[in-house]
Amino acid sequence: MQLSEQELLRRENLQKLREMGIDPYPAEAVEVTAYAREVQEGFNDEGGEPQNFQQVRLAGRLMGSRVMGKASFAELQDGSGRIQLYIARDEICPGEDKELYNTVFKKLLDIGDFIGVEGFAFRTRMGEITIHVRELKLLSKSLHPLPVVKRDEEGNVYDAFTDPEQRYRQRYVDLTVNPHVKEIFLKRSKLISAMRRFFDGRGWLEVETPALQPVHGGAAARPFKTFHNTLEIPLYLRIANELYLKRLVVGGFEGVYEIGKMFRNEGMDRTHNPEFTSMEIYVAYKDYNWMMGMVEQLVEYVAQEVTGHTKVEYEGKMIDFAGPYRRLSMYDAIQEYTGTDISGMDESALRSLCRQLGIAVDDSMGKGKLIDEIFGEKVEEHLIQPTYIIDYPIEMTPLAKKHRSKPGLVERFELFVNGKEIANAYSELNDPLDQRQRLEDQLRLAERGDFEAMAMDEDFLRSLEYGMPPTSGLGIGIDRLTMLLTDQHSIQEVLFFPQMRPQRGSIYEPEKKQEEGSE
RNA sequence: GAGCCCGUAGCUCAGCCGGCUAGAGCACUUGACUUUUAAUCAAGGGGUCCUGGGUUCGAGUCCCAGCGGGCUCACCA
């Protein structure tokens, strides 16, 4: 490995520290008594007399220094933010030996090193709250030069670390130097905890179901396939957990939810990562009408908790998450945006309508798929404010209950925001014979060439035969909801480690890497 | 999968129509400076110009192939 000049220098500094008897990676715990933000926000020096933080210990990364001879200013960044340090030579080196200041601090410490300081807070002549350092200790040496991002008084950023490839591959660097990036992930975490709070508060149970499944079901998507060596069977990474959660409802849990990773072996783009996080919830004795009310409360609550508001700006558009949301049937929505009533049309009429509207179709598309195409092409983009689209054609929804009064439809809704689906829910199909029939229809679609059609799951059918109470279920894409609430336009910006092609030389050659039995 | 764009110092970028030893700011090194803040001042070091071919007297620049990334579209929740 070729080291750059700066990397070599840091390794030399490391060596010199060791020669001076300073352990660059000491083992002891550090007793931190204050955080940067806490001091910045809470420091009180009314009347010119410092009132608090007069004996504090902080730890963090050294992010910059301005040396002025026998005194220096430096930036310390901890988990909460940044604070300035004031380091005077004769303060940290009270005796004759000025090595700690002259050599260790000025020469051997580098930007990015973790240090611990002890001292007191004061306000400089320029008005900046600062820690006057009395003791300084190296906690961990950094061997790689960190990009130095500078900001001036107007907040202009210079030399930002912006290359998406490097930011995603070295997210640790991105998080260290780009505070706004950290903010997005804090919000993501808040979103998930708010959602948990909301569900737990209603007495629903968080559960975990298998990610490795012998039959991939519950959604229309292509799976990742793997192999279990002991069982000697192929397994699939789950594309959905719906069928397992329903088994739990069969077993008597009346409200269950799971927040977890799903895996889909499909294309990647701005809104798709091969693994993503979904929240699914099933509540017994409820229907999709009830669920629409619940989702309004949930989304409004989450938006409030994450952003502090129910109105959120996305791509320059103000989106209001306060309920109730507009409810529009799929047929009415298509009529509204195309002027055509498709409620009575059969497959061939729909196919010719698609051609008329300039939508590409092929023979593998059934009635449901054709309607979905029209909707996706002509309606979706108009649904900016939160809108429920309800009552979908039965052909495209094999796991939802038939509509109580509208033949040919199922009790399903999707929530659209800014032209994108963010939630999907049904009155769940609990008629085992109907369910068997629908899955058999899926098999026929598969034979027609639709390789995303669902597979038969006999154990799931058996569970329904034991009896599942009337139940409503909901799925929400956590990544996409996070994007909406943080005004991010790429899924990569809300995933710590989005999937990337491996860098050359960063992994073993495929032959060596290939484990026995995997494919 | 297709089209377009990008890849030059640790970071952000310039480098014209192919032509001197490949540049700038920050970062880094040396020196000065005890309340600075994009600290300042002086001097200095640092390059696999993504990789491999080709054209040419001469390639960072032009051509071909590949690798990686971004955007758009397609596919897809």
Residue A273 CA: distances (Å) to CA of A19, A148, A159, A278, A479: 48, 30, 29, 12, 9
Nucleotide nearest A222, CA–C1', reads B76
Rounded CA–C1' distance between A305 and B11, in angstroms: 36
How many Å apart are A122 CA and B36 C1'? 14
Tell me the nt nearest to A270, Cα to C1'.
B71
- pLDDT, residue A387, reads 95
Scanning the structure block, which residue is given the tokens 């490795």?
A212
Least confident of A32-41, A149-158, A267-276, A291-300: A149-158
Residue A475 contacts by C-beta under 8 Å, 6 or more apart in sequence?
A240, A242, A278, A279, A280, A423, A424, A425
Say if residue A463's pLDDT is above 60: yes
* The pTM of the whole model exceeds 0.90: yes
pLDDT band for position A109 (cuts 50, 70, 90): very high
Q: Which nucleotide is nearest to A75 (CA to C1')?
A: B37
Q: Report the protein residue whose CA lies nearest the C1' of nucleotide B1.
A: A267
* Close Cβ partners of A86 (under 8 Å, ≥ 6 residues apart): A71, A72, A73, A122, A124, A130, A131, A132, A133
Q: In this structure, are residues A107 and A121 in contact, taking their beta carbons and an 8 Å threshold?
A: no
- Residue A165's nearest nucleotide, by CA–C1', is B69
Residue nearest to nucleotide B11 (CA to C1'): A147
Q: How confident is the model at residue A511 (pLDDT cuts 50, 70, 90)?
A: very low
Q: Which residue is nearest to nucleotide B28 (CA to C1')?
A: A6
Nucleotide nearest to A154 (CA to C1'): B38
Average pLDDT of chain A is 91
Residue A101: band (very low, low, confident or very high) from pLDDT cuts 50, 70, 90 = very high
Return the higher-pLDDT residue of A505 and A207.
A207
The residue whose CA lies nearest the C1' of nucleotide B71 is A270
CA A70 to C1' B33, in angstroms, rounded, equals 8
pLDDT of amino acid A237: 94
- pLDDT tens for residues A151-166? 887 778 888 899 999 9
Q: Do the beta carbons of residue A460 and residue A243 sit within 8 Å?
A: yes
The nucleotide whose C1' lies nearest the CA of A364 is B75
Q: How far is the CA of A145 from the C1' of B26 (A)?
A: 13
Q: How far is the CA of A107 from the C1' of B77 (A)?
A: 54
Residue A108: pLDDT over 90 = yes
**Lookup: nucleotide whose C1' is closest to A126 CA:** B35
Q: How far is the CA of A104 from the C1' of B44 (A)?
A: 22
Contact (CB, 8 A) for A342 and A335: yes
CA of A177, C1' of B70: distance in angstroms: 21
Specify the residue for token string 């059934």. A366
Protein CA at A453 to nucleotide C1' at B65, angstroms:
39
Q: Which nucleotide is nearest to A166 (CA to C1')?
A: B69
A183 has pLDDT over 80: yes
pLDDT tens per residue across span A3-14: 888 999 999 999
* Chain B bases closer than 7 A to any CB of the protein: 1, 9-13, 25-30, 32-40, 45-46, 48, 67-77
Q: Where are the domains of chain A?
A: 5-146, 179-325+385-494
Give the tokens for residue A252. Answer: 């008597």
CA distance linking residue A302 with residue A300, whole number of Å: 6
Q: Does residue A510 have a pLDDT over 50?
A: no
The mean pLDDT value for A95-109 works out to 93
- The predicted pLDDT at position A425 comes to 96
How big, in percent rounded to 5, are the helix, strand and coil portions of chain A? Answer: 35, 25, 40
* pLDDT band per the 50, 70, 90 thresholds, residue A15: very high
User: Tens of pLDDT along A196-246?
Assistant: 999 999 999 999 999 999 988 888 888 899 999 999 999 999 999 999 999
The percent of residues in chain A predicted with pLDDT above 90, rounded, is: 72
Q: Name the closest nucleotide to A109, judged by C1' and CA.
A: B28
**In the predicted model, what is the mean pLDDT of residues A416-429?**
94
**How many Å apart are A163 CA and B57 C1'?**
39
What number does CATH give the domain A5-146? Answer: 2.40.50.140
Residue nearest to nucleotide B38 (CA to C1'): A152
Return the percentage of chain A with pLDDT > 70, whole number.
96
* A509 confidence band (pLDDT: 50, 70, 90): very low
What is the reported pLDDT for A326?
Answer: 95
Instruction: Give the whole-angstrom CA distance, residue A263 versus residue A238.
Output: 6
Interatomic CA–C1' length for residue A509 and nucleotide B18, angstroms: 39
pLDDT-derived band at A518, boundaries 50, 70, 90: very low
Helix (H, G, I), strand (E, B) or coil at A423: strand
pLDDT at A506: 52
Q: Name the nucleotide nearest A9; use CA and C1'.
A: B28
Predicted local distance difference test score (pLDDT) of residue A451? 65
Would you say residue A16 has pLDDT above 90?
A: yes
Backbone angles phi, psi at A501, to 5 degrees: -65, 135
Pick the CATH number of A179-325+385-494 from 3.90.320.10, 3.30.930.10, 3.20.20.30, 3.60.20.10: 3.30.930.10
State the complex-level ipTM. 0.91
Protein residue closest via CA to C1' of B40: A68
pLDDT value of residue A508? 41
Residue that wins the pLDDT comparison between A455 and A339: A339
Closest amino acid to nucleotide B12 (CA–C1'): A159
- pLDDT value of residue A446: 76
Closest residue to B26 (CA, C1′): A159
Q: How confident is the model at residue A1 (pLDDT cuts 50, 70, 90)?
A: low
CA of A251 to C1' of B55 (A): 74
Q: Which residue is nearest to nucleotide B75 (CA to C1')?
A: A267
Q: Write the burial class of residue A405 (CB in 10 Å: 0-12 exposed, 13-18 middle, 19+ buried).
A: exposed
Distance from residue A228's CA to nucleotide B64's C1', rounded to whole Å: 45
Question: From the CA of A141, how many Å to the C1' of B44?
Answer: 26
pLDDT for A429 equals 96
Q: Per-residue pLDDT averaged across A24-52, rounded?
A: 93
A503 CA → B64 C1’, Å:
24
The secondary structure of A366-403 as a DSSP string is -HHHHHHHHHHHHTGGG--S-EEEEEEEGGG-TTBPBP
**What is the structure's pLDDT at A395?**
82
